Amino acid sequence: MRICYETAGSCAKRIDIEIEAGVIVDTVFVDGCPGNTRAVAALVKGMPVVDAIRRLKGIACQGDTSCPDQLARALEATVIKG
């Protein structure tokens, strides 16, 4: 499953996510802070979607969201709520 999620309230403008069998295979943030977004993408690679949501949801940066929180919201909206 491929997801293209338009973000709101974070530096990244979009997150492209690939999921197979409930596990994150690849994540690419478009824009945002390159070091941070590449690090988050590397850390969630191979992680079950439910674990990524649990770990990243609610992390705030500038305001009430962040790139990691937007990733959690994308996963939650697309995979959990569906």
Name the residue type at position 52.
Answer: A
Residue ranges, the chain, pLDDT below 70 = 80-82
What is the predicted pLDDT for the residue at 82? 56
- Please state the domain extents for the chain: 2-80
What is the predicted pLDDT for the residue at 56? 98
What is the predicted pLDDT for the residue at 74? 97
What is the predicted pLDDT for the residue at 81? 63
What is the CA angle 39-80-20, rounded to 5?
60
What is the predicted pLDDT for the residue at 59? 97
CATH 3.30.1390: does it fit domain 2-80?
Answer: no
Q: What sign for the dihedral angle of Cα 36, 45, 55, 74?
A: positive
Distance CA 7, CA 12 (A): 7
